[in-house]
């Protein structure tokens, strides 16, 4: 595994590996990318392992992107664990880790922003103004630097996934965005680098988010389509015996592509939640399929 910190080094290593993995029977080798902000966990490892299984050359980027953090958010304290991150990448089979400095990604005079209008105004975009502009800008930069054929994202941040898909489609970038299932702890909590911020008592409460989403999905499977009724069911799970430790930012059912809110749930919709436990913001989602809820 090679660790590179500049775009020139990335291009050189990517080209060398592409030549090494080129076979006469194939037009060209497949290049994969998993973009991350580091602080890697089993969820990231699952993405990397899938990429390595499906692509000839696998690249992981590790970059804490300052442009997607708002004023007062956790940029300064966001966990930076490069040594352990590299160990996870190596164990998962990655070929290249691209770990640039801020000035490599945003050199002096940088003045361009990539934005996706409409679908970024609601949900996480409403409480984190400018966040998705930061996400789409850095993803566009990483796509230009790596030139992958496939990029792998987890479904935990469902809005981010759909925003990136829209950007790639609208700009005719011509790559595949591969959505991978959310990886969870044994008690159902979606894995996140921010989970380490939770106190022991908050960590015990945090699985209620997924439990509430599962209640919504189960009620939908049982024939309930009215969204307000489904939200009432979820809140019974979130707030047992009046416990209001979880501060819900939003709880909604949305059409899965444009992320517009529903009044009556339909097959394939997504139930989304964002909430704070203390100072830690958590997000999660579940598909409404009408079938068995796992």
pLDDT for the residue numbered 290: 74
Q: Is residue 185 part of a domain?
A: no
The domain containing residue 124 runs over which residues? Answer: 2-180
Q: Is the pLDDT of residue 23 over 70?
A: no
Q: Is the pLDDT of residue 24 over 60?
A: no
Q: Is the pLDDT of residue 294 over 60?
A: no
Are residues 125 and 197 both part of a single domain?
Answer: no
E-only strand ranges, the chain:
2-4, 31-36, 57-62, 96-98, 150-154, 176-180, 246-254, 270-277, 280-287
Mean pLDDT of the residues in the chain: 95
As given in the structure block, the two tokens for residue 279 are 């100072």
Give, rounded to a whole angstrom, the gap between the first and last alpha carbons of the chain.
37
Residues 228-260: tens digit of each pLDDT: 999 999 999 999 988 889 999 999 999 999 999
Q: Is the pLDDT of residue 179 over 70?
A: yes
Are residues 155 and 272 both part of a single domain?
Answer: no
pLDDT for the residue numbered 25: 56
Are residues 119 and 171 both part of a single domain?
Answer: yes
Q: Is the pLDDT of residue 6 over 70?
A: yes
Q: Quick check: is 95 catalytic?
A: no
User: Which residue has better confidence, 71 or 222?
Assistant: 222
Are residues 110 and 135 both part of a single domain?
Answer: yes
Residues 101-150: tens digit of each pLDDT: 999 999 999 999 999 999 999 999 999 999 999 999 999 999 999 999 99
Are residues 138 and 90 both part of a single domain?
Answer: yes
- Burial class from Cβ neighbours inside 10 Å (0-12, 13-18, 19+) for residue 277 reads buried
CATH code where residue 135 lies: 3.40.50.620
Q: Is residue 186 part of a domain?
A: no
State the total domains in the chain. Answer: 2
Q: What is the CB-side half-sphere exposure of residue 23 using CA atoms within 13 A?
A: 6
pLDDT for the residue numbered 21: 76
Are residues 171 and 62 both part of a single domain?
Answer: yes
Give me the residue label for tokens 């890697």: 40
Instruction: Identify the active-site residue in 41, 44, 95, 131.
Output: 44
Pairing of strands 150-154, 176-180: parallel
User: Which residue has better confidence, 244 or 199?
Assistant: 199
Mean pLDDT of 202-212: 98
Give me the residue label for tokens 């999905």: 217
pLDDT for the residue numbered 243: 87
Which among 179, 182, 245 is positioned nearest to 42, based on CA atoms? 182
Q: Is residue 45 part of a domain?
A: yes
Residues 42-97: tens digit of each pLDDT: 999 999 999 999 999 999 999 999 999 998 899 999 999 999 999 999 999 999 99
Q: Is 19 helix (H, G, I), strand (E, B) or coil?
A: helix
Q: Is the pLDDT of residue 157 over 70?
A: yes
Measured at the CA of 260, the angle between CA 257 and CA 265, to 5 degrees, comes to 90
Are residues 124 and 197 both part of a single domain?
Answer: no
């Amino acid at each position: 595994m090679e660790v590179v910190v500049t775009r020139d080094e990335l291009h050189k290593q990517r080209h060398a590996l592409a030549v090494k993995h080129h076979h006469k029977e194939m037009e060209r080798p497949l290049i994969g990318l998993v973009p991350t902000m580091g602080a890697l966990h089993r969820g990231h490892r699952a993405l990397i392992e899938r990429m390595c299984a499906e692509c000839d050359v696998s690249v992981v980027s590790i970059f804490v992107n300052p442009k997607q953090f708002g004023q007062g958010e956790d940029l300064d304290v966001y966990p930076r664990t490069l040594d352990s991150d590299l160990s996870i990448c190596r164990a998962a089979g990655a070929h290249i880790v691209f770990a640039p400095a801020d000035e490599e990604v945003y050199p002096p005079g940088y003045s361009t922003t990539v934005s996706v209008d409409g679908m970024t105004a609601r949900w996480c975009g409403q409480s984190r103004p400018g966040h998705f502009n930061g996400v789409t800008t850095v993803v566009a930069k990483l796509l230009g630097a790596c030139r992958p054929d496939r990029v792998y994202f987890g479904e935990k941040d469902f809005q981010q996934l759909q925003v990136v898909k829209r950007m790639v489609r609208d700009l005719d970038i011509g790559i595949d965005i591969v959505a991978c299932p959310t990886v969870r702890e044994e008690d159902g909590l979606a894995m996140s680098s921010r989970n380490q911020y939770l106190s022991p008592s908050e960590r015990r409460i945090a699985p209620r988010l997924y439990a509430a989403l599962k209640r919504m999905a189960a009620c939908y499977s049982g024939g309930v389509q009215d969204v307000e009724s489904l939200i009432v069911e979820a809140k019974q799970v979130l707030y047992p015996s009046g416990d209001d430790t979880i501060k819900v930012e939003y709880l909604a059912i949305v059409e899965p592509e444009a992320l517009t809110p529903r009044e009556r749930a339909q097959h394939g919709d997504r139930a989304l939640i964002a909430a704070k436990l203390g100072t830690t913001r958590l997000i999660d989602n579940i598909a409404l399929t009408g079938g068995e809820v796992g």
